[in-house]
Amino acid sequence: MAQREKLLEIKNLKQYFNEGKVNEVKAVDNVSFDIFKGEVMGLVGESGCGKSTTGRTIIRLYDATGGEVLYDGVNVHGKKSKKQLKDFNRKMQMIFQDPYASLNPRLKIADVIAEGIDIHGLAKTKQERMEQVYELLETVGLNREHANRYPHEFSGGQRQRIGIARALAVQPEFIIADEPISALDVSIQAQVVNLMKKLQKEKNLTYLFIAHDLSMVKYISDRIGVMYFGKMVELAPADELYKNPLHPYTQSLLSAIPAPDPISERTRKRKSYDPASHNYEPNEPVEFREVTPGHFVLCSEKEFKQFKVQSK
């Protein structure tokens, strides 16, 4: 575990909107975590807790207010030359949430997918470009005849697969999937998640998988981070998080998963989370601490000791 190669290091990342004004929003507040090569990192949390903002800040769609994002040891943010930016754009890609909004309705599928190929000059001739498009279409389970069609002719699941093909076109190493399945119905969700899993194995990709569907996140992720109001409250390997949730918010979140069994469902107790329950002293340092190896919790010194005892 320890000798695994770090692909991405996020250090004290901050993203504030309307900074210094009355309506300041701390969308991402001092978040730090690492993503290792070849893993799937899940990011969960309620609506508006800053998951998507974290993803978008990592890929430079927003300029970070503070902190660093190191990709292979190189800072992603800050001033960059055009060439550096292009290199970076090829390594890191994103899959978007809404398959109906993420494809330009005026472009044919071939042009949607080939956009990255054109920008980075990955095909020398027109024929080579089309060959790559056909190959990508087949990789994501579509037909090559679809290249000449327009986005509105596809279903949500098909569109999401086109979005995946577009991201894959530049042969990235790391993909941020920003709630890629939440706009799809359940039967299609499985298709898309399985496709993503398959692609990950074949192409040795690393994912940051942002979602609010806990069961789906558990299914695909190696490690899961839980966010609450712009802060990372708990980070642990997927199984560990489910078996031994330490932070009260994580416990509350897990207690919300419905079970497909009417008998256990009747007895399921929904825990609610009250941030005041911590009873932190006014100046008590609340930090992200490692309780057991690989399992981090946002807690005070006192809670830390208590969690340590609990996890033994």
Applying CB under 8 A, the residues found at the interface with another protein are 56, 59-61, 85-86, 89-90, 92-94, 96-98, 101-107, 115-116, 119-120, 141-143, 145-146, 148-150, 153-154, 158, 163, 166, 170
C-beta of 96: minimal distance to another protein in Å? 4
Tokens found for residue 268: 């399921």
- Tell me the C-alpha distance between 133 and 178, whole Å: 23
Cβ burial of 246 (10 Å; 0-12, 13-18, 19+) is buried
Indicate the residue among 170 and 246 with the shorter CB distance to another protein. 170
Tokens found for residue 264: 């256990």
C-beta of 143: minimal distance to another protein in Å? 5
**62 backbone dihedrals φ, ψ, rounded to 5°:** -120, 150
C-beta of 81: minimal distance to another protein in Å? 13
Helix (H) or strand (E) holding 65: none
C-beta of 131: minimal distance to another protein in Å? 19
Closest CA to 287 of 231, 224, 204: 231
Indicate the residue among 119 and 259 with the shorter CB distance to another protein. 119
- Tell me the C-alpha distance between 290 and 68, whole Å: 21
Indicate the residue among 30 and 89 with the shorter CB distance to another protein. 89
Indicate the residue among 150 and 288 with the shorter CB distance to another protein. 150
Indicate the residue among 154 and 296 with the shorter CB distance to another protein. 154
Q: Kindly report the number of other CB atoms within 10 A of residue 8's CB atom.
A: 22
Indicate the residue among 111 and 222 with the shorter CB distance to another protein. 111
C-beta of 224: minimal distance to another protein in Å? 24
Q: Could you tell me which residues come within 8 angstroms of residue 59 by beta carbon, excluding any fewer than 6 positions away?
A: 76, 92, 93, 94, 176
Indicate the residue among 182 and 306 with the shorter CB distance to another protein. 182
The secondary structure of residue 121, as a DSSP letter, is: T
C-beta of 89: minimal distance to another protein in Å? 4
C-beta of 154: minimal distance to another protein in Å? 8
The secondary structure of residue 153, as a DSSP letter, is: G
Sign of the Cα torsion 226, 221, 206, 171 reads negative
- Tell me the C-alpha distance between 304 and 77, whole Å: 33
Residue type, 34: D
